Chains A and B, each alone.
Chain A
């Protein structure tokens, strides 16, 4: 399933500067694998050695933080917008 992924500034070195790329996969985990196949190493920035989302990254499928959904198993239907955003913003 084709989805669109928004890339944060600090990962754009992997995507040749592109802020938005497309990827395939029916779950977030599959999408990340597909991204890694195209942009080698990018997945390791988003997930840690244990394969879990890093503490300081938020991933949204549509408008929802995947921590409220099924984490890496969150379904990513055709046309979904995925956003990867550093979690350290804030202070209110």
Chain B
């Protein structure tokens, strides 16, 4: 992978080793979220001063709602706010985003909420919100001249990386815990010949990926060395929700938390929209959802501490099973700053959440969405969500990928002979 543009690169040779002009759009640098130290744009993710996470810093030009609305019906309508070049549509990608925002009246009535929407990201190309982050990571990998596109994953990210890589014609290598749900394994293996199952949990897989990223030249690990670019993709969830509500922010939003990256970036999106004058400034509350078998951020929130104690995950919500969440402390900060909370639910509640969303709104979510719906219910019951305020929940992935979690819960109501009498005998009519 090419190094960052240094002064020498810029002033000397005709042989250009750095990224091309405009490779990262309006992004101007990488800045440490902890100590503000700045680094040139490049394949860097940890602050050389304090190990803190590097984030993209921008100088945004003036931008209007009309300009955004005139864009394509995918995440590239917000390309001016992302670290991608202005000609991004010219490069093959999976074109995720602009998923439906459904008003969920039945679920609202069930939960006792005045107004509720579901942002349904299960309809993305590989059926999770991960297509958004991967589209941005792919752009960075391409601009940095990466030879291999890779990730450690709890499943959905691997699906998205493998599919996007196939479309882009770049070699992909994806790493997953070996006990992952079978459908998620197949959903990666169909797109790549290099699915690597690791005997260990996600945190072990993540550690391995960090080590490989430190040794192999030319590998773009989407959530390791190009993570600053990748993470920006989640902002588009925030932009879309605001645009689809008619350019305003919701009062309350409930978001599943694994690493905490998505929640952190939805907040960043809301802040940017306010700063750019695209929405009116107003208070909003952000809530995080975890499963009890892997709830290190919820535990810290309730304990009122800033330090997150890593856990060894044990939950059916495998896509949320990160025991050592990198952005956990920012989730705590955001929940506290906005008057939100981080709550957790049992695996049985997760299953009940999946069934509830399906039977009220016709949306089949995976365990992460089940967690989010169940946490929303708990937040209402415990008085943490205000039932009079407008609420959005994010459904981040599709239930067909986690069928096992639910198949014991639902099934045929009766098995009958093909006769009218047999049917009558069931009492269903």
Chains A and B are bound partners: yes
A contact residues vs B (CB 8 Å cutoff)? 6, 8-10, 13, 19, 45, 54-58, 60, 63, 65, 67-68, 83, 85-92
Known contacts A8-B214, A10-B46; A89 and B203 CB within 8 A of each other: no
Q: Once bound together, how far apart are the Cα atoms of A60 and B224, in whole Å?
A: 18
Which residues of A have CB within 8 Å of B155? 92
- Taking a contact as CB atoms under 8 Å apart, the answer to whether A68 and B310 are in contact is yes
- Taking a contact as CB atoms under 8 Å apart, the answer to whether A88 and B45 are in contact is yes
Which residues of A have CB within 8 Å of B207? 58, 60, 83, 85
Which residues of B have CB within 8 Å of A56? 34, 46-47, 50-53, 326
The reply to whether the CB of B324 lies closer than 8 angstroms to some CB of chain A is yes
List B219-265 residues whose CB lies under 8 Å from chain A: 221-224, 227, 230-231, 258-259, 261-262
Chain B residue nearest to A45 in the complex (CB): B51
Which residues of A have CB within 8 Å of B204? 63
Number of residues in B with C-beta < 8 Å to the partner? 52
Q: Once bound together, how far apart are the Cα atoms of A6 and B206, in whole Å?
A: 16
User: 9 shortest A-B CB distances, which residue pairs?
Assistant: A86-B46, A91-B223, A56-B51, A88-B53, A90-B326, A90-B259, A92-B154, A89-B224, A91-B261
Chain B residue nearest to A52 in the complex (CB): B307
The reply to whether the CB of B69 lies closer than 8 angstroms to some CB of chain A is no
Which residues of B have CB within 8 Å of A45? 49-51
Chain B residue nearest to A7 in the complex (CB): B214
Number of cross-chain contacts by CB at 8 Å: 110
Q: Once bound together, how far apart are the Cα atoms of A56 and B309, in whole Å?
A: 13
Contact of A91 among B50, B203, B230 (CB under 8 A): B230
Which residues of A have CB within 8 Å of B309? 67
The reply to whether the CB of B287 lies closer than 8 angstroms to some CB of chain A is no
Chain B residue nearest to A63 in the complex (CB): B204
Known contacts A57-B51, A60-B207, A83-B207; A88 and B326 CB within 8 A of each other: yes
Tell me the minimal C-beta distance from B219 to chain A in angstroms: 12
Which residues of A have CB within 8 Å of B307? 55
List B179-212 residues whose CB lies under 8 Å from chain A: 202-204, 206-207, 209-211
Contact with A along B303-321 (1 / 0, CB 8 A): 0000101101000000110
List B295-340 residues whose CB lies under 8 Å from chain A: 307, 309-310, 312, 319-320, 322, 324-327, 329
The reply to whether the CB of B139 lies closer than 8 angstroms to some CB of chain A is no
Tell me the minimal C-beta distance from A70 to chain B in angstroms: 14
- Taking a contact as CB atoms under 8 Å apart, the answer to whether B211 and A87 are in contact is no
Which residues of A have CB within 8 Å of B48? 10, 13
- Taking a contact as CB atoms under 8 Å apart, the answer to whether B326 and A87 are in contact is yes
- Taking a contact as CB atoms under 8 Å apart, the answer to whether B325 and A90 are in contact is yes
Which residues of A have CB within 8 Å of B210? 8, 85-86, 89
